[in-house]
Chains A and B, each alone.
Chain A
């Protein structure tokens, strides 16, 4: 039995200025999916995530969340179901970690109001889940890259969403933090039934953590399925334009660029 569909995209196209970024793209996301969105730089991963998050509007096509067209859903209501986390987090003003996490409660608050006790409790739980509670009083700009990423996940979690979209959550992090972030996400997916879509560059981590990979190239889906169906030598070589070797350990596929000198 297949799980119910959470989001359905049909014939999505998006053009930035004059260059097409996404072309006639269709797919559907099922509940509790853990999707790795992979593909070369400029293949349209970030744009696709922004369209799914309601941040950008596609030029053509339709996108539905639980049967309702996203364009018809109130922005705040949509934010109560879907959250999006950017790749990097430049911060001009000295907000504290706890303040950033509390901002996730925005879609639940009315104008001129402050957060209630309940909002504080939800934020506290989000920080505990992401192991950020111990530095909640520090300034966001003073913590490390891996900590920032966890704080942003906590903030997205405070939105209490059913689906989280993450734009390269492990980029620019060292190995330890990469695994830590992905383990937190894996736990959210398994324990909290969170649907996750991650744009990723590291194919090995993607194959290890995700149950479904979507390979994008030049704004189109090249292949969509479980890692072992997507990570194929001929397909990867064609899309990335580099020779690769594949091997497999404990059922996990590993990809190595072949460097011959």
Chain B
């Protein structure tokens, strides 16, 4: 029921945002048969510029939001997210290494940058997981955030180092990529990353009830027949995979994985069987809306969408922290 509300938001967002932009386009002209395709400016803007960008935004928003919901459930801490845990910056380090090494190649149909990015995010989550977990299997907020900050600093330093020693053209690519943006894209990119994102989300749905139980406590989950170690492993690897995949393409776009699961949980509750699809729909809508803002607010100048999400996400995070603190 509430899920259909999120579906409606999703449909409306994807229907309306292609029409908004710095240059006015007319649907009538875009779909007109009388103008040849190569001369049809409106159609080119709509189909070659805005559509792929919006699809990439939707995929990225969905992936980061679902990953956030999974990290929160598995770590039993609602301040966990790809960005706060340092997973995004781990992915960034992986991607920057691949860019600096000029690994512009494909392996098994997947871009090598994505593979490096995935390894970076997986490394980051493993580091935080092993650093923070207490002997009772808990992840206290303070230590978790500190570990995330530490991981962020460390990976950022590594990124800066690589940036410093890279040559000029690589350096430009790195800095442009690090800003996070959805602007440089085409259908080929979308076709190559969407199977990974959808497969990942399906795997996470498959183990969603097990993760529900883990989110209430590892021992009680175990006593109800959940193979805790295996589910944690599959959950972390899959969430890192989808994070790494989209970060490799769009750069580290912050706070989406924090804002969206929180907002959605207020409406549909914490059951991941509902929360995951709802995060997918709302995360997609949210990032596409933020990107539309990024495209238009200073038009014709475009600002990276990561700036918009951080400007919303920063205060949101402060509000969460304040609310969490015991009175």
Interface residues of A (CB under 8 A from B): 50, 53-55, 75-80, 82-86, 89-96, 99-100, 103-104, 106-107, 109, 111-112, 114, 159
Besides the known contacts A75-B222, A93-B270, A107-B224, 15 further A-B residue pairs in the complex with CB atoms under 8 A apart: A53-B223, A55-B222, A76-B225, A77-B225, A79-B225, A80-B225, A86-B217, A89-B216, A90-B217, A93-B78, A94-B270, A95-B216, A106-B210, A109-B209, A112-B206
Q: What is the minimal beta-carbon distance from B210 to any residue of chain A, in angstroms? A: 8
Interface residues of B (CB under 8 A from A): 73, 76-78, 138, 205-207, 209-210, 212-213, 215-217, 219-220, 222-227, 265, 269-271, 273
**Central interface residue in A75, A79, A104, by most chain B CB within 10 Å:** A75
Closest to A99 in B: B271
Q: Are B222 and A106 in contact (CB under 8 A)?
A: no
Given A84-B219, A92-B76, A94-B270; A111-B225 close (CB under 8 Å)? no
| Interface pairs (19), CB distance under 8 Å | A53-B223, A54-B222, A54-B223, A55-B222, A75-B226, A75-B227, A79-B223, A82-B223, A83-B224, A89-B216, A91-B216, A93-B216, A93-B265, A94-B269, A95-B270, A95-B271, A99-B269, A106-B224, A114-B273
Closest to B141 in A: A92
Q: Are A106 and B225 in contact (CB under 8 A)?
A: yes
A159 partner residues in chain B, CB cutoff 8 A? 224
Give A50 to B273 CA distance when docked, in angstroms: 28
The total of Cβ contacts below 8 Å across the A-B interface reads 77
Give A229 to B265 CA distance when docked, in angstroms: 54
A111 partner residues in chain B, CB cutoff 8 A? 206-207, 209-210
Q: Are B270 and A84 in contact (CB under 8 A)?
A: no
Q: What is the minimal beta-carbon distance from A103 to any residue of chain B, in angstroms? A: 6
Q: Are B209 and A106 in contact (CB under 8 A)?
A: yes
Give A54 to B73 CA distance when docked, in angstroms: 23
Closest to A109 in B: B209
Give A85 to B78 CA distance when docked, in angstroms: 24
A104 partner residues in chain B, CB cutoff 8 A? 224
Closest to A95 in B: B270
Q: What is the minimal beta-carbon distance from B255 to any residue of chain A, in angstroms? A: 20
B222 partner residues in chain A, CB cutoff 8 A? 53-55, 75
